[in-house]
């Protein structure tokens, strides 16, 4: 079984390493092409710059194949910019995949210099949460479960096979528990 990391821009290597560390049954592969996408059972859309990522996905003709796989039930996890790309609504912008029933506001936690680490509960696990120019989730739809909050605002959500975090678990290289959570989503899909 393989989990892909969309490898056009952003924190790709960190995600690949953490997925590889979870267990031997799951491989981690960078995804840049339609053929590579076809080899994976789940996909991580990493943090980076959502405007750049959407442009590159368009340029690499990945929008439709990725969207079709997600609609067909492939587990997907968007971190930070990835969350923005999955959201139904982006304040002041056209949405991209629009498959996750939340609204987001880009850069709502401040600039790069305002990056911070918080601690909190994620689906029953106490973890560190790294925020880097993170989007804020400003509305959560009825079918969406909130897995983590920061100061009363949702920062991790799940809608069936779609997981999204406004923070960066891959920036905590010694803690693979959120990656393990996503691996479980992919394994239980089979
Ligand atoms: N600020 C970025 C955006 O709006 C997201 C930042 C990140 O992924 N770390 O796309």
Rounded to two decimals, what is the model's pTM?
A: 0.97
- Over residues 142-189, the pLDDT tens digits come to 999 999 999 999 999 999 999 999 999 999 999 999 999 999 999 998
Distance 24 CA to ligand 1 centre (A): 31
Q: Which of 189, 188, 185, 181 is nearest to 18 (CA)?
A: 181
CA distance 56 to 146: 30
Q: Which residue out of 55, 56, 81, 105 has the highest number of ligand 1 atoms within 8 Å of its CB and is therefore the one to mutate?
A: 81
- Over residues 141-150, the pLDDT tens digits come to 999 999 999 9
**What is residue 190's predicted lDDT score, i.e. its pLDDT?**
58
Has 170 been annotated as catalytic? yes
Q: Which residue out of 77, 83, 84 has the highest number of ligand 1 atoms within 8 Å of its CB and is therefore the one to mutate?
A: 84
Ligand 1: residues whose CB is within 6 Å? 47-50, 80-81, 84, 106-107, 132-133
Please tell me the chain's helix, strand, coil percentages from 3-state DSSP, rounded to the nearest 5: 30, 35, 35
Distances 49 to 52, 81, 84, 168, 174 between C-alpha atoms, Å = 5, 6, 10, 13, 25
Annotated catalytic residue, options 14, 15, 161, 170: 170
Has 168 been annotated as catalytic? yes
């Amino acid at each position: 079984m393989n989990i892909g990391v969309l490898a056009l821009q952003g924190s790709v290597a960190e995600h690949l390493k953490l997925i590889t560390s979870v267990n031997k049954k799951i491989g981690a592969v960078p995804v840049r092409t339609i053929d590579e996408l076809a080899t994976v059972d789940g996909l991580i859309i990493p943090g980076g710059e959502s405007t750049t990522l959407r442009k590159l996905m368009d340029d690499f003709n990945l929008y439709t194949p990725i969207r079709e796989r997600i609609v067909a039930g492939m587990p997907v996890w968007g971190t930070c910019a990835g969350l923005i790309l999955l959201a139904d609504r982006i304040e002041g912008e056209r949405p991209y995949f629009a498959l996750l029933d939340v609204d987001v506001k880009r850069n709502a936690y401040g600039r790069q210099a305002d990056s911070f680490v918080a601690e909190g509960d994620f689906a029953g696990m106490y973890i560190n949460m790294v925020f880097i120019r993170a989007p804020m989730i400003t509305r959560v739809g009825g079918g969406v479960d909130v897995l983590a909050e920061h100061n009363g605002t949702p920062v991790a959500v799940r809608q069936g096979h779609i997981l999204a975090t406004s923070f960066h678990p891959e920036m905590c290289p010694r803690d693979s528990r959120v990656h393990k959570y996503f691996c479980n989503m992919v394994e239980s899909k089979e």
